[in-house]
């Protein structure tokens, strides 16, 4: 079974069915045809987007969060939580200068760096729908880190 890391935009666009390619990837995870690794940072980032969308849509955030936990609790979802989610986020914030430095070197937004680090640690690809940051800099990222980046629409399960 293939193993990947998903950028937040793939989780959100797939769960909300707004991108058919991301939707296909989420369905493959739900059907246990694909393994995915997610860090506590990734969980927090997805929840932050869901909470913002819930406010905009005027629905309780639990409506959006319930579906994601049903998927994240499956055996084919590897959760890399060295500490609980809150402590991990504090750790990421405390390392902010390192994140900013890596972002500058890789020409990325700081929010994308933890996904690159996770993919690097597991030596598996990162899938995104973000063409302006991760995808645009994929060759440089792969050359410097070995992390391969695919757009959801071009990645095959």
Q: What sign does the CA torsion over 69, 21, 7, 44 have?
A: negative
Name the token pair of 103.
């972002």
C-alpha distances in angstroms, 92 versus 45, 88, 103, 115, 137?
Answer: 12, 6, 13, 12, 22
**Token pair 């504090």 is at which residue?**
90
Domain residue limits, the chain: 3-151
Half-sphere exposure for 118 (CA within 13 Å, toward CB)? 27
DSSP state at residue 129: S
**Hey, which CATH number is domain 3-151, 3.40.50.1010, 3.40.50.300, 3.40.50.620, 3.40.630.30?**
3.40.50.1010
**126 neighbors 149 (Cβ within 8 angstroms):** yes
**83 neighbors 91 (Cβ within 8 angstroms):** yes
pLDDT at residue 45, as a whole number: 87
pLDDT tens digits in sequence order for the chain, 157 residues long: 999 999 999 999 999 999 999 999 999 999 999 999 998 888 888 988 988 988 898 888 887 788 899 999 999 999 987 666 676 666 665 577 888 899 999 999 888 998 999 999 999 999 999 888 899 999 999 999 999 999 999 988 7
pLDDT at residue 110, as a whole number: 85
């Amino acid at each position: 079974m293939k193993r990947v890391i998903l950028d937040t935009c793939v989780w959100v666009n797939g769960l909300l069915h707004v991108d058919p390619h991301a939707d296909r990837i989420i369905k493959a995870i739900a059907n246990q045809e694909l393994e995915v690794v997610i860090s506590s940072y990734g969980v927090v980032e997805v929840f932050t987007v869901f909470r913002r969308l819930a406010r905009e849509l005027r629905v309780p955030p639990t409506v959006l969060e319930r579906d994601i936990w049903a998927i994240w609790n499956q055996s084919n979802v590897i959760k890399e939580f060295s500490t609980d989610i809150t402590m991990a986020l504090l750790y990421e914030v405390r390392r902010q200068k390192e994140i900013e430095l890596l972002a500058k070197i890789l020409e990325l937004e700081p929010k994308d760096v933890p996904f690159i680090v996770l993919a690097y640690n597991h030596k598996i690809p990162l899938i995104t729908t973000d063409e302006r940051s991760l995808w645009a800099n994929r060759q440089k990222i792969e050359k410097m880190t070995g992390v391969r980046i695919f757009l959801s629409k071009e990645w095959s399960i």
